[in-house]
Amino acid sequence: FEPDAEADDALVSQEQALIDAGQAAMWTDVDMMWWIRSQQGNVGVAPFPAGASGTGLTPASVGGVVMSAGTQQPEAAWRWMDYLSRQPLSPMTMGIKFLPARRSAAEASGYWDDLDAMLADALDYAVSHSYVARELLAYSAFEDALNAILTGESAVDAAMAQAQEDAEAELEQQATEAAGATPVPTFVVAAPEGTPASQAGTTIVFLPGIGSLNLEPFRDLAARFHEDHPDIFVDVKMPDFLSGTPDLPSLAAASDCFQWYPSFQEARNREAILSLAPFVEADAGFPMDDYLPQALDQFRWQGQLMALPADITPYVIEYNRDLFDAAGLDYPSPDWTWEEFLDLAVALTEGEGETKQHGFVAEFYELNDLLLLTERLGARLIDEGADPPAFTYDDPATVEALRWYAALTTEHGVKPVFVTDLNKLLAASAAMIEREAMITEGRAAMWSSSPTAAAVFGGRPDLNAGAVPPPRRADGTSPAGLLTVSGYFISAETENRQACWQWITFLSGEPAAVQGLPARVSVSTSDAFRAKVGASHAEAYLASVSEAQETSVLQVLNEEEWLGGAIYWYGQAFGQVIDGKATPEEALAAAQKLADDYRACVVAAGDFGQATWQACVQEIDPTLPAFLFQAGN
């Protein structure tokens, strides 16, 4: 590639674009990426070729544990480091694992046994024929020479001679600077402060679920809680995400109380937690009426409240005020219609190609958008009156809703489509980044959003954005616009039940404890919450949930988890319509057939547990990618 031909802020490198487009026969990569690449298609892996003398030419990087020069406990630190080196390393995420540096640790953890045979052979050879890629000195001189050679600006001999001269000069300068540097003063590591567990009183362990991505607010709240309850210490810890996706039993086993999502169909989940009904009955001042009913419903099982609703992830439409102002258009109102949505999207779409401004931008993989927006367009996706519930993809209302939604792209050209094929989802990082660039660079007038966007992209402080709920149905009604609801659970095995109850009721009144919409009305309408997210977003978040007349399809999927196994085919039907491979009627008829066969499989098994329904999904449709069913997904 031409040096400096790629913009510094390019979202995807030139080589990455060729790989994604299938225009590269071979390329270099790190071993952890192969698992993702292999999900994309027919991709192999091999070590670097050996040198003429058989020496290793595969570069390797090694991470390690370092002892501080200022430690006061070198022997204890060494014992800890030695212990760590013998432990198996947990997977980073789905299918991606580190290779332990000690052979015995790799063998004990079954590292080699669990690897794909092709990758195992390549790595086995590579680690025996590799060199450690250490920090390179005077590298810029070599890079300049390489660029000069590849662009034809200089012959190899001349370029490398100049590189040698520049490198020696750079090394001499570095040596001079090092000789004149002020020595680093000797330091001593401070002794650790005492932990709450060493003090008199009750200590409870709390795991804040996804909130663990930012533990500081919870630890600040724990300190405040302790001021009012000096006999209770809250030890805020991070769940073990490295061992796979947590569930209710694993979180309950590791804590006294925790935050997670409802999942009550399997007995083992219900047995891991306490019903909160006795606590509510014993607490005369408990503000049950203050909780949003849509949130409470998520945590009831056969009339029992199993957790306190905590954090709602609302689904809203955000818009760029500057683009609306430039076009002389009024901002959308909370009670807007689909006709108004389309008029605005058309009016705000302009240009062509990479600089095109789109009226509306959905998620890079828009299954959530597809479910929630077509539902608001009148789609009937699930017949809850059937026993068990049945899918209604071929219902005329669903067909028309999908047709209208797809036409945003195929007919009106106001909405881009990024990824519709699940088999390409793991390689969709470029699409995710491109979508974010459309929003931050002012190439999206409206886009679907939720509070989790800030967690992923760190917020968009320079964007002048407002928010409204999605448009309502033609009859003025709307299902709840929410993606997820997390709640506070108490472990069935805890010895500190009352302390946990006091802690989680305290948390439920704190805006700092949520990333999305607080489940309590008094908190979601408070000045503190409006100041945290902005008035426009606070109103949109609340309206998206509180003004709903019925549950959303995602709420139904939360209550009946096995139904989620059939949503993939609804997404595939949308992709077939977008690609022009089928009409909405044809695509949804095919999806209906798969969904019916899947339902019959689950019913015949007589078990709605995860293992059963996932096996049925794979049996009915073997073309679905394996990563959907990997542990930790």
49 and 87: one domain?
yes
Q: Is there a domain that residue 125 lies in?
A: yes
109 and 36: one domain?
yes
Q: Are 594 and 622 in contact (CB under 8 A)?
A: no
Q: Look at residue 513 and tell me whether its pLDDT is greater than 90.
A: yes
Q: Is there a domain that residue 330 lies in?
A: no
Q: Is there a domain that residue 333 lies in?
A: no
Q: Is there a domain that residue 100 lies in?
A: yes
Angle between helices 584-605 and 610-620 (to 10 degrees): 140
Q: Look at residue 545 and tell me whether its pLDDT is greater than 60.
A: yes
Q: For residue 600, what are the CA distances in angstroms to 155, 568, 592, 619, 622?
A: 71, 17, 12, 12, 17
Question: 235 φ, ψ to 5°?
Answer: -100, 105
Mean pLDDT to the nearest integer, 129-149: 80
Query: What is the pLDDT, as a whole number, of residue 179?
Result: 83
171 and 201: one domain?
no
Mean pLDDT to the nearest integer, 380-385: 93
Q: Are 394 and 583 in contact (CB under 8 A)?
A: no
94 and 169: one domain?
no
121 and 149: one domain?
no
Of the candidates 119, 95, 124, the one whose C-alpha atom is nearest the C-alpha of residue 107 is 124
Q: Which of 96, 117, 132 is the last residue of a domain?
A: 132
Q: Are 446 and 360 in contact (CB under 8 A)?
A: yes
62 and 81: one domain?
yes
Q: Is there a domain that residue 67 lies in?
A: yes
Residue 206 domain boundaries: 196-314+486-524
Report the percentage of the chain scoring pLDDT > 90: 55
State the total domains in the chain: 4
310 and 210: one domain?
yes
Q: Is there a domain that residue 529 lies in?
A: no
Give dist(CA 250, CA 271) in Å, integer. 12
81 and 168: one domain?
no
Q: Look at residue 138 and tell me whether its pLDDT is greater than 80.
A: no
Q: Are 294 and 543 in contact (CB under 8 A)?
A: no
User: Looking at per-residue confidence, does 119 or 191 come out higher?
Assistant: 119
Give dist(CA 440, CA 461) in Å, integer. 10
Q: Is there a domain that residue 332 lies in?
A: no
Instruction: Name the token pair of 631.
Output: 């542990």
Q: What average pLDDT does the structure give for the chain? A: 87
125 and 31: one domain?
yes
Q: Are 257 and 236 in contact (CB under 8 A)?
A: no
42 and 93: one domain?
yes
Q: Which of 478, 504, 524 is the last residue of a domain?
A: 524
CATH number at residue 294: 3.40.190.10
123 and 153: one domain?
no
The band of 184, judged by pLDDT with boundaries at 50, 70 and 90, is: low
- Non-local (6+) Cβ contacts of 145 within 8 A are 154, 159, 160, 162, 163
Question: 462 φ, ψ to 5°?
Answer: -90, 0
Q: Is there a domain that residue 446 lies in?
A: no
Query: What is the pLDDT, as a whole number, of residue 479?
Result: 84
244 and 296: one domain?
yes
Give the gyration radius of the chain's Cα atoms.
Answer: 28
